[in-house]
Amino acid sequence: MTDTDTQTGSPFWRFSLRFYRSPDVADACIALQDGCGADVNVLLFILWLAGERRQIGIAEARRINLTAMPWRDGVVVPLRALRRRLKDGVPPIGSDEMFRNRVKAIELEAERLEQEALFSIVPSLAATTASSAQAAARANVAAYEAALGARLPPAALDVLYAALPAAGAAARSGEID
């Protein structure tokens, strides 16, 4: 998530671009994605909600995941698999970095579209106001874990939780809507 202008798109998209650049966040997200099947865009969404002190329950976490699922499974995941396959080269062409970068750009745009679809459901989400962004983040992740039926590794989640206050501070200073 580094090649797109951070001044365009929804507030959620802009948050995601900044948050993903925080130290160790990208590695933690990829570990959660590859090791546990978590959707990074859904994780970023529930963390963005947390930054707004919006806390969701299991039913809303399921709804968020189901909203993302068709696009994620039908478009984002196949593009990611293609980009990763191209990294090692494919005969008879071998490795073509320019082509791989174009696929990567398309993959990033597909992720942005998924995030915009998630952002569009914000007005209809049932959420409560949490006492803090950290409390909302932990509750939202617990709801997402329940929706997935999986426990996400605490070490990777701790990286995301630690980065959240910095993203929240950026939001309060006007860098993020």
Q: What is the pLDDT along the chain (177 residues), one digit of tens a residue?
A: 444 454 578 999 999 999 999 999 999 999 999 999 999 999 999 999 999 999 999 999 999 999 999 999 999 999 999 999 999 888 888 889 999 999 999 999 999 999 999 999 999 999 999 999 999 999 999 999 999 999 999 999 999 999 997 555 444 444 433
Give the bridge partners for 167, in sequence order: none
User: Is-contact 132 53, C-beta < 8 A?
Assistant: yes
Residue 22, classified by CB atoms within 10 Å of its CB into exposed (0-12), middle (13-18) or buried (19+), is middle
CA 157 from chain centre, in angstroms, equals 13
pLDDT at 163: 96
The reported pLDDT for the residue numbered 3 is 44
What distance in Å separates the CA atoms of residue 42 and residue 101, rounded to the nearest whole number?
Answer: 24
